[in-house]
Amino acid sequence: MHTPGPWKVIPPVGPGNYGVNSEKALTAYGNWCVAVIPNGDHAEAAPNARLIAAAPALLEALEALAEYWRNGTPVQPGSEVANDALAAIAAARGEGVKA
């Protein structure tokens, strides 16, 4: 089992490093860091941090879609499961999010 989500990006937490923290673990254990992304001044650091932070939501969305497919249930555009998947993808891409 992984650290519970949601995870969020913490902009540079050291000399140019981004962090990814679990909001639930922050409450339970203090400042719980899931990942550190070095080279925070590099162009790919923030997108990498966003992708890592989106992992729990991406997993949850894929599991929900897989359950629909296992049951033979069509996924309709605009349905909750479709919207959750699209929101997770947008978060991973950093669309509408600053990091």
3-state secondary structure of 19: strand
Cα separation, 26 vs 78, whole angstroms: 33
Parallel, antiparallel, or unpaired for β 18-22 and 7-10? antiparallel
Residue type, 38: P
> What pLDDT is recorded for position 99?
43
> What pLDDT is recorded for position 16?
74
Residue 28 has pLDDT above 80, yes or no: no
Cα separation, 61 vs 73, whole angstroms: 15
pLDDT mean across residues, the chain:
84
Which helix H or strand E contains 65, and what residues bound it? Answer: helix 55-71
* Averaged pLDDT for residues 23-33: 66
pLDDT range class, residue 17, cuts 50, 70, 90: confident
The predicted-structure confidence for 55-84, as pLDDT tens digits, reads as follows 999 999 999 999 999 999 999 999 999 999
Residue 8 has pLDDT above 70, yes or no: yes
